[in-house]
A and B are shown apart, each in its own frame.
Chain A
């Protein structure tokens, strides 16, 4: 076998793979290409540029004007992403907020219990015990459970023990706020959430652990 033949063969293989990119079909969901797979297996994710403060407040003002629904401002520092989410639904104390591009966060009493469309999503959580301490602004220890999908798509249950501590006092727009820290550990995970809690027990701002991929989410109640 000559060198040319080998080269030709390699070129042909490459071409055939490239041709997959232009294959057309009306059959549903058949647009997967070699490139998209290669990219996701062999390369990391590109970091986006963090929007500046002016742009964020501009977006928030626009969202506030566009709807009467409750809104939250969500920042994912690890991915340099900021978005405003609007409340879509309330179900037995759980409020689900979402964006037009189909990302959502579900919260119960200000604690994030589930997300969708963020990647490495929290499928569901049990947070009632930690929430009781946080909104009462009490020191104490409580259990927390978070459920994820593992790489095989099985449900991975994380049991955590969390220590809640009052760490300070602050105020925003003349509303007195208490700084509460929740340090959790268990099943190989360790993280520390922080909350700003009003005198009525409402969490107005927080930094909460999401997942190894996204790390912490910063959530601020806009309305």
Chain B
């Protein structure tokens, strides 16, 4: 089974360089492991979106993980413990030595205080393949776990959890359990439970039906036919936190390691396991294990929590305070006839903004009101850019100007316009930020865009960058990590409002992505599966070369047309339209693409659309619905025709944090059958976005994006065109502004 960790080609815009840092940290651990004019102030819920809600703190939590990388203080056995809410941890564990080493690399996320989800990639040494399966010396397998807390610990009640381990796919580690954990004082926790599957394979005291062993589909779909069936056994354990950093655990395991023992890869001398864990910092911990009286193992865990940034509130410099007007000055209109004073007000504003990383894009000033358009190049939380702009306006504009409208420009087009009264800014500078939100109106910036005077030097302008690139393919069946590394140069030329010419050129320096094996015939045209051939060339490659036009065809509508060499594999044209009222939680979009496959050497040539298994269709496209569900959850549904001409839908769900973190998953099912699609049955993946400002404590719009997904199969594949509209504008709209409003006065 395979998964690609796709480092998004650093095409672009706000997300230009440096996506690798945190991703690289995660991946390095894997490598080392080896082997309407409506105001937003309409409802109280909107107004309070930026206030920390009362949190139902789940009890009995632990930052530690077991040898399977799931939250818990034991070894092979689960507990009813949960990680702190939103914790994201990567655990790399191993036992055995040399070619007999079994490794497990697990990513666990605490989705909700009571729900934990894990993804694991394992290299299991010494297993014999099932008859009819390919031969191997180490079985590489991926697995998913979930654990749900049924009952929190109470005075007389232990915490109780139910869980499924490796519940999708081949189920090598498959097992289900019901477990209770109880704390005895501050330092000791005892656990007892019953399990099925692996957890029922030693010392069974009963059974519930028969557990089937055949595979559903081509793997990759839930093994619901096995859950809670077959032999049942009991397990137990105890953990002791000797200090805040050092803890110990012992367990009686009900996992018989049947298959490992049968294949002679494991000697299970005793049912008892032991562990010692040392927590070096909040982010880093180490564990050592004694397993079944015969093996020793070790693990390292890196934990990140979106709620634990480098520095709460950030370290950036103070904004300038509001400059209140002296009484009576607002009546002075002398400046309106004085073009020098107007020009000087504008120059002062532009220089104050520039100091804060904000570009004055355009402006219009009259006796009572000022409209400005800005380009925010620094603040991930948009209200911070708005707040700094508003304060700079109080310090630069004549006293008679009472109404300030600020529109943030994205790709040369207006997004939301936020309107303040200067009196309110003066009055509420030291009040709670939500007081200011209550008197702020948020409209479509298109209505405010007429008659603006563009600043000089806005067009044309060039952005360029040169830096390293890394592309990864991990979790391949015969090689856990492959990569290409090299140098990439890129440039963007903004030559008129909404127009962007953009290109990227890279040169591979070293790497072995070209040796990724071609999967067998799938019955679909090869639209993605020959990825290795695109990595073979040693000459410079053109990653993309496009011209794009962003527009605002009407109120609430956004548009994009992109043409040229769209991505590494396809050239053509892509058109997109998005409907998104500024105060709406719902957005609807449509995208239509015309494509021609590019030559494998990724220069200017195209190749035939015919492949051995079919012809690549010229047209593909989607209709999409996006919805901000609330409580930090965002959903997306795309329905349409995919690259290979297959028809289907992609469902995505992300947990999005106000500080810009996002952790989510998606799944695509199209009308190709599991057998046509091949191993994995359908496309699915996990995506994590980390704002770098969170890691360094100073504002920047850079983000690290990581996608873990099934390796380039042909079913459910989409065009990788840059600049999709929803992600470009959603942060500027009312629901997101209301949630991040706490930084308005920052």
Tell me which residues across on chain A come within 8 A of B467, comparing CB atoms: 19-20, 23-25
Distance between Cα atoms of A28 and B494 in the complex (Å): 15
A92 to chain B, nearest CB (A): 7
Tell me which residues across on chain A come within 8 A of B319, comparing CB atoms: 116
Q: Does chain B have a CB within 8 A of A129?
A: no
**Contacts between the two chains (Cβ within 8 Å), count:** 229
Tell me which residues across on chain A come within 8 A of B699, comparing CB atoms: 29
Query: Contact at A37–B430, with CB atoms within 8 Å?
Result: no
Distance between Cα atoms of A147 and B51 in the complex (Å): 10
Given the known inter-chain contacts A17-B20, A23-B18, A29-B701, please indicate yes or no for A150 contacting B281, CB distance below 8 A: no
> Could you list 22 examples of A-B contacts with CB < 8 Å?
A9-B483, A13-B28, A17-B28, A26-B462, A29-B357, A37-B695, A40-B310, A89-B324, A91-B322, A91-B426, A91-B430, A92-B430, A116-B746, A117-B315, A117-B317, A123-B433, A123-B745, A124-B430, A149-B312, A152-B306, A153-B740, A213-B311
Q: Does chain B have a CB within 8 A of A98?
A: yes
Given contacts A27-B16, A89-B321, A116-B318, 8 further A-B contacts (CB under 8 A): A24-B467, A26-B465, A37-B695, A41-B304, A42-B284, A103-B318, A104-B321, A151-B308
Query: Contact at A155–B432, with CB atoms within 8 Å?
Result: yes
Chain A residue with Cβ nearest B632: A152
Q: Does chain B have a CB within 8 A of A168?
A: no
Given the known inter-chain contacts A28-B377, A33-B21, A92-B427, please indicate yes or no for A121 contacting B317, CB distance below 8 A: no
Query: Contact at B697–A40, with CB atoms within 8 Å?
Result: yes
Query: Contact at A41–B433, with CB atoms within 8 Å?
Result: no
Query: Contact at B18–A102, with CB atoms within 8 Å?
Result: no
Cβ 8 A contact of B24, one of A34, A108, A123: A34
Given the known inter-chain contacts A12-B485, A116-B318, please indicate yes or no for A153 contacting B324, CB distance below 8 A: no
Query: Contact at A103–B317, with CB atoms within 8 Å?
Result: yes
Query: Contact at B692–A25, with CB atoms within 8 Å?
Result: no
Q: Does chain B have a CB within 8 A of A200?
A: no
Query: Contact at B468–A20, with CB atoms within 8 Å?
Result: yes
Q: Does chain B have a CB within 8 A of A65?
A: no
Chain A residue with Cβ nearest B375: A28
Q: Sorted from nearest, which 4 A-B pairs have the closest CB atoms? A: A102-B317, A23-B467, A25-B465, A116-B318
Query: Contact at A37–B21, with CB atoms within 8 Å?
Result: yes
Q: Does chain B have a CB within 8 A of A47?
A: no
B695 to chain A, nearest CB (A): 4
Chain B residue with Cβ nearest A123: B745
Given the known inter-chain contacts A152-B307, A153-B740, please indicate yes or no for A124 contacting B284, CB distance below 8 A: no
Chain A residue with Cβ nearest B27: A13
A62 to chain B, nearest CB (A): 21
Given the known inter-chain contacts A91-B321, A120-B313, please indicate yes or no for A152 contacting B659, CB distance below 8 A: yes
Query: Contact at A13–B743, with CB atoms within 8 Å?
Result: no
Cβ 8 A contact of B464, one of A26, A28, A32, A92: A26
Query: Contact at A154–B742, with CB atoms within 8 Å?
Result: yes
Query: Contact at B51–A155, with CB atoms within 8 Å?
Result: yes
Query: Contact at A32–B313, with CB atoms within 8 Å?
Result: no
Q: Which of B376-394 contact A (CB under 8 A)?
A: 377-378, 381
Interface range, B side: 35 or more
Q: Which of B117-174 contact A (CB under 8 A)?
A: none
Q: Which of B427-478 contact A (CB under 8 A)?
A: 427, 429-434, 462-468, 470
Chain A residue with Cβ nearest B465: A25
Query: Contact at A156–B463, with CB atoms within 8 Å?
Result: no
Query: Contact at B468–A41, with CB atoms within 8 Å?
Result: no
Query: Contact at A27–B312, with CB atoms within 8 Å?
Result: no
Query: Contact at A6–B34, with CB atoms within 8 Å?
Result: yes
Chain B residue with Cβ nearest A103: B318
How many A residues have CB within 8 A of the partner chain? 63
Cβ 8 A contact of B658, one of A12, A90, A152: A152
Q: Does chain A have a CB within 8 A of B518?
A: no
Distance between Cα atoms of A12 and B511 in the complex (Å): 9
Q: Which of A72-130 contact B (CB under 8 A)?
A: 88-92, 94, 96, 98, 101-104, 106, 108, 113-114, 116-117, 119-121, 123-124
Contact mask B713-746 → A, CB, 8 Å, 1/0? Answer: 0000000000000000000000000011011011
Interface centre among B25, B305, B696, B740 (most CB of A within 10 A): B696
Contact mask B690-717 → A, CB, 8 Å, 1/0? Answer: 0010011101111000000000000000
Distance between Cα atoms of A43 and B323 in the complex (Å): 39
Chain B residue with Cβ nearest A28: B377
Tell me which residues across on chain A come within 8 A of B312, comparing CB atoms: 119-120, 148-151, 213
Q: Does chain B have a CB within 8 A of A46?
A: no
Distance between Cα atoms of A121 and B462 in the complex (Å): 37
Q: Which of B676-699 contact A (CB under 8 A)?
A: 692, 695-697, 699
Query: Contact at A88–B51, with CB atoms within 8 Å?
Result: no
Distance between Cα atoms of A152 and B315 in the complex (Å): 15
Q: Does chain B have a CB within 8 A of A166?
A: no
Tell me which residues across on chain B come within 8 A of A26, comparing CB atoms: 462-465
Tell me which residues across on chain B come within 8 A of A38, comparing CB atoms: 25
Distance between Cα atoms of A164 and B545 in the complex (Å): 68
Tell me which residues across on chain B come within 8 A of A53, comparing CB atoms: none
Chain B residue with Cβ nearest A19: B468
Query: Contact at A40–B311, with CB atoms within 8 Å?
Result: yes
Distance between Cα atoms of A101 and B315 in the complex (Å): 12
Distance between Cα atoms of A90 and B321 in the complex (Å): 9
Distance between Cα atoms of A17 and B24 in the complex (Å): 8
Given the known inter-chain contacts A9-B31, A16-B485, please indicate yes or no for A37 contacting B696, CB distance below 8 A: yes
